Amino acid sequence: MVGGKSWFGWLFNRSTNKRQPLGLLTPLQEQRLQKLRDRLSVPFDETRPDHREALEALWHASFPETELKNLVSDQWKEMGWQGPNPSTDFRGCGFVSLENLLFYARTYPASFKRILNKRDGTRATWEYPFAVAGVNVSFMLIQMLELKSVKAKSLPGMNFARLLSEDEEAFDILYCIAFELMDAQWLAMEASYMQFKEVLEATKIQLERELSLEDVRRIRDLPAYNLLYR
């Protein structure tokens, strides 16, 4: 696990959430949860101008001093896509995974650039590919929060829905937190490429614990949120 002993001692001494009756959501929470679910149903479509523009924006946010020659280009491999056309990597998660990456780049640029360029710690010879890892983080969060289910049954999933009343961007912010936490876990475990699934699972477990804490009333109350400002 990531973090000093004092951080984890403080984390595990906090009790689980007992505030709002389980399974009950306000109309605002229901509305925002449905809006988020609608986003998840949108596939990436390279023929749509807004999707193409979002992809170009991601490149410019990542490499502002380097011109992207074409939307299908080997340049994308520098960011950690599997091939010259990122659209093939979006198939498993849809447009939301691109939205997540772009939100991260625009909202927490220092954190985004630090992880994109692997600036922290002693890195492995075989590092995880940044962009593909980002798509996997999106997919992990969707599964963990049960966002494609009619109703979440897990405590983290139910508690997350409540956080939407305080911040409509809670999912996108949680994505940024999860990416930072995943990278920190990667370094702490001294992982290499073949251990990526183990790192992602450790990240998921830690997020589930934090989303079960009693005094988390906003997404920014999660202990791991502070990782974005290291």
pLDDT of 55-73, one tens digit each?
Answer: 999 999 999 999 999 999 9
Yes or no: say if 183 and 115 are a contact pair by the CB < 8 Å rule: yes
Question: pTM of the predicted model, to two decimals?
Answer: 0.88
Question: Is the confidence at residue 8, as pLDDT, over 60?
Answer: no
- ∠ CA 126-121-199, nearest 5°, is 55
Residue 91 vs residue 157, higher pLDDT: 157
Question: Is the confidence at residue 136, as pLDDT, over 80?
Answer: yes
Q: What is the distance between the alpha carbons of residues 203 and 198, in angstroms, rounded to a whole number?
A: 9
pLDDT band at 20 (very low <50, low <70, confident <90, very high): low
Q: What is the distance between the alpha carbons of residues 173 and 137, in angstroms, rounded to a whole number?
A: 12
Q: What is the distance between the alpha carbons of residues 26 and 93, in angstroms, rounded to a whole number?
A: 28
pLDDT tens for residues 150-193?
A: 888 999 999 999 999 899 999 999 999 999 999 999 999 999 88
Q: Tell me, what's the pLDDT at 124?
A: 65
Q: What is the distance between the alpha carbons of residues 143 and 149, in angstroms, rounded to a whole number?
A: 9
Question: Is the confidence at residue 1, as pLDDT, over 70?
Answer: no
